[in-house]
With several copies, the nearest count.
Chain A
Amino acid sequence: MRLFAFARLRELLGERRDVAVADGATVGDLWEALVREEPRLTEFARGTRFARNDRLCSAEVPVRDGDEIALLPPFGGG
């Protein structure tokens, strides 16, 4: 799967990367793995939303090979 991060999360994680996920892993599992790798993510846990293939999704959604997962901090447009 491919991971996309934006704004302050992009600054921590880079804009995009390819990530291998275990069978049955969820978006939440992916986030946990990222936090282990980059502990500063912890403080953004509450405000971050997830999208799978361009649609908002919950942390319980399973990640499949070929998915695009986006990490979305609180919005600031306008």
Chain B
Amino acid sequence: MICEIVREAIDVRAIEASVLAPSCGGIVSFCGVVRERADDGREVEGLYYEAHEGMARASFMAIAEEVRATMPEVRLAIVHRVGALSIGEVAVAVVAAAPHRAEAFAAARFAIDALKERSPIWKQERYCDGERVWVENRCSGERQ
């Protein structure tokens, strides 16, 4: 189980390669990517993330442990980047590999939803007009 906070670009391929095992028939990768518009339509120049790194890593490990308890065959990685990110860059990657696809999808979806709800990470939207706003996740987990 890879659980990391990183400052540099996330290498999703390397994560996938280390998660995949010969027993795996399906691998699901979710990447959260910086998009050009906020939910309210404002033009975004980039995002800035910060984390309580120790607690964030611990929350990733707790999430991975919950996945292991319910789906022991799943191999999981959770990696979040902090610092300033530009449009199109990967902020978070969740990779789940499993013998069958149902578990891989379920584990990846659970992990990203749980991360957004529980992990002490903060996001500042930096708009093209110069304003900066700290944006909170909705608990519903339905938004990116």
Contact = CB atoms under 8 A, between A and B. Distances in A.
**Chain A–chain B contact at Cβ < 8 A:** yes
B137 A6 contact: no
Interface stretch (B12-20, B38-46, B66-74, B115-123): B115-123
B115 A74 contact: no
B115 A78 contact: yes
Contacts of A78: 32, 80, 91-92, 112, 115-116, 119, 121, 123, 137, 144
Interface residues of A, number: 17
A54 B56 CA distance: 9
Nearest to B121: A77
A51 B117 CA distance: 16
Interface string B69-107: 000000000001000000000011000000000000000
B120 A75 contact: yes
14 contacts: A6-B52, A7-B124, A10-B50, A54-B55, A55-B55, A72-B52, A73-B134, A74-B137, A75-B116, A77-B51, A77-B137, A78-B32, A78-B80, A78-B92
